[in-house]
Structure 1
Amino acid sequence: MPLIQLVIVLVVFGVILWAINTYIPMDGTIKKILNVVVILVVILFVLSAFGLLGSMQGIRVG
């Protein structure tokens, strides 16, 4: 994945998270949980994009 595409994806994630935190009213605890989950997903995505995590195709949920 080209670096510019990775930066664009990170900016889009940031704008979406900012919009959710700003414009959708919800309890502070739920916002914190949502922020942590989104940040963890972004970290996993970045590690996978740089090849440090390996292939995520073997991960099964459920």
Structure 2
Amino acid sequence: MGRALQAKAKIAVPITAGLTPILAHITTNGISKEIYIQCSVPADKWNQAKERATGKDKLC
């Protein structure tokens, strides 16, 4: 039985102080879940095309 795993990251709706929580979207065997990973990033530091934060600052 083969397993397929797909993972993506995105930012959610902005919260206080201009920070936006990072959300992980994971799909395994056609079942998808979205989880918050307890980290936030300023929206202007997020590169959606690369699905990652830019810069060298510690995020969480």
Instruction: Please give the range of the TM-score, normalised by the shorter of the 2 chains.
Output: under 0.3
**Bigger helix share:** 1
Relative CO higher for 1 or 2, CA cutoff 8 Å, sep ≥ 6?
1
Question: What TM-score, normalized to structure 2?
Answer: 0.23
Question: What TM-score, normalized to structure 1?
Answer: 0.22
